[in-house]
Structure 1
Amino acid sequence: MATNIKDKIAKLLALAESPNENEARAALLKARELMAEHKLRPEEIKKAEKAKVIRDVLDVTCTSMTNPWACSLSAVIAAHYCCRAYRTQKFAGSRTVKIGLVGLEEDFEIAKRIFLYAYDCVMSYIKREIKKDPTDPPGTYREKCNAYGWGFVQGVKAAFEKQDEENREWGLVLVVPQAVDDSMKDMGKASTFGRIHDNHISYRAKGYKDGTEFDPTTRLSGMPERAAIGG
């Protein structure tokens, strides 16, 4: 494959990071068109020194009871940005896990920022809008919070799927590089974490709506303080 084609695609991908939405979109579409035409994968475009695989644990913890939706949210966002998500126990036998991401260096940074932003959007809504009612049965507040969180995850997933359907030519680029999957061979098989319950449908519906409207390009003026869901 001619080096100049790879260089051209690399330059287009760099332009795709432009703050000008139209310019970025046009550059990305052209880059993906060329990659499909020449059957190139993302890692074949990145220069060797930029193709480093990063695997790191983030400062987000969860349990199967308190905020299990966070693991699913990380998986949905990671996959859309050419990365993988995983969870790891704080120590053997612990019910608390931390969320980690794996990806090529540039992809990792993007996926990390977007996941943390999405997580903070959910937590900010929960802290602001969902109040504990002393007359509720034990665990009700936690269930309401999780209902909203699960809904948000489903909404984000639906939004990404719609975006992919509308831009099928992105397909070849929106794949996880083989080097990323190879780096995870020492990990166990993927498994589910927590489950969605059919109660508090109104909170799940609100979360779904907010998830479909989630805009990764929006910048927070100040990141909301993270908080565990208790009670």
Structure 2
Amino acid sequence: MDIKIVEKIQKLLALSESSNEHEAQVSMLKAQQMLIKHKLSLKEVREFKTFNSAIQEKKSTVSFTKAKWKSKLAELIAENFGCYHFFKTRYTHTITFFGREEDVAVCNIVLEYAVDCIDSVVKKLRYQYAKDGYSTRGLENDYAIGFISGLRKKFDEQKKANQEWGLVLVKDSEVVEAYSKKKFMRIIDTNTTFQGHSKVFEKGFEEGGKFSISDKITEGEIDGTLRLTEAMGGA
């Protein structure tokens, strides 16, 4: 039995218990497809005890200097997928996740996907605001912190509605111990404040609440292989 395949199915099954109806349905469908493809039973997957994967740190493709909202987004994602986050700093601050291998991979996928979603909407908003003669100063920040607030509310509701979901997200004790031994040379200021675009914040809040990790995990297959498999180093 391929441990990585089982772990992916287990994660999809955990997502299938989400309070978000669409996410739950998509995740269960994908889990069922993988069970059939790999000739596994639901009972086998639920009862299979996987060995803990290696603890690692991995840089994302996301960095920032002034866009401090990216650090807030990374913090929220790390909190909800069993990891820590910190920054590799040279000319910019590159977001890095620390945790179990598969959890770090998921954090990177979700962060990069969320940033792409935010950037795409902000680009359209900037165009429209500039066209209408309005200032775009602080617009990106306000949409992003709205999105993060909406996503946080969604995560909190999922944990409240499903105790097992909350347990899945708890940091592994070995990860906690390993992280406690790390030493950092400096503290990065990541404070950011609302800039006054109320409607933009509200739009971000609404869309953050609809954001779905399963949209990315199940975003098509290439020759029958999940894109998540590639991100996790192959099955």
- 2:90 match: 90
TM-superposed CA distance for 1:205, in Å, is: 0.6
- 1:173 match: 168
Matches within 5 A, 1:14-33: 14-17=8-11, 21-22=27-28, 24=31
TM-superposed CA distance for 1:133, in Å, is: 2.9
Structure 1 position 126 matched with structure 2 position 122? yes
- Percent of aligned pairs with the same residue? 23
Matches within 5 A, 1:130-209: 130-131=126-127, 133=130, 140-184=135-179, 185-188=181-184, 193-209=190-206
SS at match of 1:127: helix
- Give the alignment's TM-score, normalised by structure 2: 0.68
- 2:51 match: 47
In structure 1, stretches of 5+ residues that fail to align are 1-6, 35-44, 222-231
- 1:227 match: none
TM-superposed CA distance for 1:14, in Å, is: 4.9
TM-superposed CA distance for 1:146, in Å, is: 0.6
Change (3 A) 1:172 1:183: same
CA distance in 1, matches of 2:155, 2:12: 21
Change (3 A) 1:108 1:159: same
TM-superposed CA distance for 1:17, in Å, is: 4.5
Deviation string, structure 1 residues 169-227 (Cα, Å, up to 9, x no partner): 33332211122223323234987612222511111110000000001111468xxxxxx
SS at match of 2:63: strand
In structure 2, stretches of 5+ residues that fail to align are 14-25, 33-41, 221-235
Structure number with higher helix proportion:
2
Query: Structure 1 residues 182-191 or 96-105, which shifts more?
Result: 182-191
Change (3 A) 1:59 1:22: closer
- 1:59 match: 61
Checking the alignment, whether the CA contact within 8 Å between 2:139 and 2:195 is kept in structure 1 is no
CA distance in 2, matches of 1:202, 1:187: 41
SS at match of 1:195: coil
Deviation string, structure 1 residues 98-155 (Cα, Å, up to 9, x no partner): 111112111111111111101110011111222263965xxx5240111001111111
SS at match of 1:82: coil
SS at match of 2:104: helix
Equivalent pairs counted in the alignment come to 190
SS at match of 1:186: coil
> Given residue 16 of structure 1, which amino acid in structure 2 is its aligned partner?
Q
C-alpha RMSD of the superposition: 3.4
SS at match of 1:149: helix
Checking the alignment, whether the CA contact within 8 Å between 2:159 and 2:165 is kept in structure 1 is yes
TM-superposed CA distance for 1:11, in Å, is: 9.0
Checking the alignment, whether the CA contact within 8 Å between 2:158 and 2:165 is kept in structure 1 is no
- 1:75 match: 75
